[in-house]
Amino acid sequence: MGVGTNGSIVTDSSGKQQTRGSAFDPRSFHSYTLDPASDLPSLLGTYAGPQADIGL
């Protein structure tokens, strides 16, 4: 069992896409809510990179 995809979206990709297999459920380890894949560009713009509130 390993990390897998759930609800992913792929655009403009030329590599092989692995879309089957089993994955662990992160909710087994901690509270977790899956964000919609379509929200990822906005989330990265907000949370990726230096963050003033953590001193970076």
pLDDT in tens, 28-41: 888 878 888 889 88
| Confidence band, pLDDT 50/70/90 cuts, at residue 51 | confident
Residue with the two structure tokens 């509270």: 31
Cα torsion through 21, 36, 43, 45, rounded to 10: 90
Token duo for residue 6: 């759930």
Taking 3-state DSSP, the helix, strand and coil percentages for the chain, each rounded to the nearest 5, stand at 30, 5, 65
Alpha-carbon distance of 11 to 30, in angstroms, equals: 30
Q: How far apart are alpha carbons 56 and 49 in whole angstroms?
A: 9
pTM attached to this predicted model: 0.41
